[in-house]
Every structure is written in C-alpha cells, then in structure tokens.
Amino acid sequence: MGIPARPGLRVMVASKPVDFRRGMDGLAALVTQVLLADPFAGDLFIFRSKRTDRLKLIFWDGSGLCMVSKRLEARGFIWPPVQDGTVTLSVAQLRMLFSGMDWTQIPARSPPPARLQRPAEKLQSAS
C-alpha cells in the first residue's frame, strides 16, 4: 500500500460520511475539529463518502501532508455503522479495508495475556 507501518501507528476511521469535494486541508480541519486529533502527529485518518465505494486517507509522512483516494470498481468498502466519532483499526485491518476485503473478520489487536509461571519455574526460582 506504500504507507509505512511504524510502531504505535493509530489508524482512525471517521464513521460519518464526509463531503468528498474536500481536499487535504479540509480533511485535516475535520481531523482537528471533529475527531479532536492532530493531523500532523503521524497517525492515519480514513474518510468515507456517502457512496460506499470511495475512501480518502490523510497522514503526515514527516515532510508533508499526504492524501490517498481510492474508488472500488465492482463493489463498496465494508464500513463501520454510521455514528459520531471514530473507529480505530489495526494495520492489518487497514490493509484489508484498503483492498476492499471485509476487515471485520480480523479482530483488533489486543495486548498478549500475562504469562503464567509454571510450577517447575517456581521451584527453580525458589532455590
């Protein structure tokens, strides 16, 4: 996809459709005013149109604001329900969304569970 996935990258989807006549400056203003985030922090923001077959991404790459747009030819993207606010995706979910696949089939990444200490390890650490 060409977007570097750095550690800690936040991928935020604006749930409500936006006017797709907006360019990168208008979308950056929406990030600040509606999503209450900083468009220049290095996070990735996804916007949808009223038609489900279009999306726009904006992100800061370290030297400038970038905008990517995509239109699917055969079908629409799978979007979260329309509501106020945002939905946060993992990088794997972003890749699936961008390629037109059902990203909801991949659960959001959660931290690994705490490792339990086995009885043999307890005995060794006690001696």
At residue 91 the predicted structure's pLDDT band, cuts being 50, 70 and 90, is confident
Question: In the numeric block, which tokens belong to residue 63?
Answer: 């030297």
pLDDT in tens, 61-90: 889 999 999 999 888 888 877 677 788 888
Q: Tell me 104's DSSP state.
A: G
Name 11's bridge partners: 44, 89
At residue 6 the predicted structure's pLDDT band, cuts being 50, 70 and 90, is confident
Mean pLDDT, all residues of the chain: 81
Q: What is the pLDDT of residue 92?
A: 83
Q: Tell me 103's DSSP state.
A: G
Q: What is the pTM of this model?
A: 0.76
